[in-house]
Structure 1
Amino acid sequence: MTAYLLRRVAFGLVLLVVMSTITFFLVFSGTERVAANILGETASNADIAALTQKLGIDRPLLVQYGDWVGNAVQGDLGDAWTTTGSVTEILARRMPVTLSIVSTAILVMAVVSAILGIVAAVRGGWADGLIQVISIVGFAIPNFWLGLMLVVLFALNLQWLPATGYVSFTSSPSGWLAAVTLPVTALVLSGIASASQQVRGAVIDALNQDYVRTLKARGVNMRSILFRHALRNALPAALTVLSVQFVALLGGAAIIERVFAIPGLGELTVRSAVIGDVPVLMGVVVTMIIVVIVVNLLIDVMNAWANPKVRLQ
């Protein structure tokens, strides 16, 4: 088990280095006009040259990359170009917001998808057909459009929930719940549609195994077969789906946070890309990569616990 975990950690570190390197050269290779964009159209050539030198983007790209890596390994991701403060401080303020929304969304998705998938697999018939129709409809609805419709209905018309903004859980648990309800709902609908179908297929495959028929022949209760045997064998496939959905939720958060004016990493990514704040954009990408690596590592550990074959490979 230890060797397996060490291999996964090593793979994650390699992935972090490769992806951060590719991202750096992609975002920093197009900084020729950054100084002019920051200063505006009325800036003189001398002012643009001075700001370019101050930002350090007049140096060779390899030199910039070497400096960035040297600082990044010490936890210093540089300073923002368009706002005051370091990139690390900005990310520290924004990351808990996004993680609270995405974590809540993945928890809701896991529970609802498991219930729908198990019911569809076990009941079959009209229940299976109805759940599949609902899943197809949910998958077809864009999350940003759903978010806008939820705002119109529950925030503007009914005035049950706030339309925009975010309240931290530590400040007010009830305020936090009210603030994240609509964004989480908009995020999880399409994910539930996909995940429930994957859970359904995994449970059906598990129930069709020979050991299940043997247990039935021995008179073991179907509930016991389902919860003590079949679900554990279906768990690795379900966990894999959730890890993929977690990455999708991080991407979807960029749009949802803009719709609901939530000050998280997604909104920061869009704003930094628009105004050309390259250090912040680079910091967001690296942070997202680390989060994805950690989540996938946790999923791998849970898979190894649920499936001994994984530990032997």
Structure 2
Amino acid sequence: MKRLLMRRLLLSVPLLFVVSVVVFVLQSLIPGDAASQLAGLQATQEDVLRLRRQLDLDEPIWAQYWHWLDGVFHGSLGTSLTNKEPVTTALGTRLPVTLSLVLGATVLATVLGVVLGVASSRAGSLAGRAVDLLSVGGLAVPSFWLGLLLISLLSVRLGLLPATGYVRFADSPDGWARSLLLPVGALALGGVTAVAKQTREAMLDVLGRPHIDNLRANGVPERRVVFKHALRGAAIPICTMSSILLVGALGGSVVIEQVFGLPGLGGLAVSATGSKDIPVIQGVAVYFTLLVVAANLLTDIAYALIDPRVRAS
């Protein structure tokens, strides 16, 4: 198991390199640069060229990338071109927001999905057909549209929850939870239906195996059969789906943060792209890649905890 985790960590190094190169090349293809944005509409061509030299944007793209990579090797992701704030500082203040949103949505989707999946695990049951219907509807509804609907109903009309903004947990745990309820719910809907369908199919597969029939024939209570034996046997597919949801939620958080005005990494990525702020764009890409690597490592650890054969191998 240790060798597996070490191999995953080593593979993450070339992954980070490839992602950083691809992002750097793609952003260089966007018309304009940070110098044009900072100079403003009234600036002359000489002003733009002078500012471009000050920001080292007049160098070839490979030289710009090498300067950035050299800074990474020295423990620095650079400085924002627009506000001169260290990139690590900007990312550090926004990372807790994105983590709260993504982890909250993943946990909510997994818990509700498992409950619905287990409840509908009887073949041909009404609950099973309901889960199939909800799966189609849940995956078809865009998270941003659901977010706008929740804001309209629960914030604007009923005034139950804040429509936008974020409260730090250290400032007010209750305010932190209230500020995340709507965005977490909007981001989790598609995941709930996906986990419910995956859980139901995995449970039906396990419940149809011979050893489950033997347990029932020996008089083991149905509740114990379902929750101790069948659910444990279905845990690997559920864990896999949760990992997929976590990675998908990272991408979905970009849109949800815009809808609910959350100061997370997604909003920072959007603003940095608009202002052509290369160091910030690179920093966000590195952080998102690290989060994906961490999600995969957690999945491997979960596999080992669930199935002893994984630890043995």
TM-score by length of 1: 0.94
Residue type at the aligned position of 1:72: V
Indicate the residue corresponding to 1:166 in structure 2.
166
- What's the CA shift string for 1:111-160, capped at 9, x where partnerless? 10110111111475111112222222222111111111111111111111
Could you list the runs of 4 or more consecutive aligned residues of structure 1 that deviate by over 6 angstroms after TM superposition? none
Indicate the residue corresponding to 2:13 in structure 1.
13
- What's the CA shift string for 1:198-230, capped at 9, x where partnerless? 111111112122221222222222222222222
Residue type at the aligned position of 1:69: L
The 2-side partners of 1:54 and 1:120 are apart by 63
Check the 8 A contact 2:33/2:275 in 1, yes or no. Answer: no
Check the 8 A contact 1:75/1:88 in 2, yes or no. Answer: no
Shift of 1:31: 6.8
Structure 2 residue matching 1:121: 3-state secondary structure: coil
Distance 1:32 1:183, change over 3 A: closer
Q: 2:214 matched to 1:214?
A: yes
Is the deviation greater in 163-172 or in 199-208?
199-208
Check the 8 A contact 2:243/2:296 in 1, yes or no. Answer: yes
Structure 1 residue matching 2:121: 3-state secondary structure: helix
The 2-side partners of 1:171 and 1:101 are apart by 17
Q: 2:58 matched to 1:58?
A: yes
Structure 1 gaps of 5+ residues are none
Indicate the residue corresponding to 2:78 in structure 1.
78
Root mean square deviation of aligned Cα: 1.7
Shift of 1:65: 1.9
Q: 2:42 matched to 1:42?
A: yes
Check the 8 A contact 1:4/1:311 in 2, yes or no. Answer: no
Indicate the residue corresponding to 1:195 in structure 2.
195
Structure 2 gaps of 5+ residues are none
- What's the CA shift string for 1:264-283, capped at 9, x where partnerless? 11111111112221211111
The 2-side partners of 1:105 and 1:73 are apart by 34
The 2-side partners of 1:276 and 1:233 are apart by 49
Is the deviation greater in 239-248 or in 14-23?
14-23
Shift of 1:291: 0.8
The 2-side partners of 1:7 and 1:208 are apart by 36
Paired residues, number: 313
TM-score by length of 2: 0.94
Indicate the residue corresponding to 2:232 in structure 1.
232
Aligned-pair identity in percent equals 38
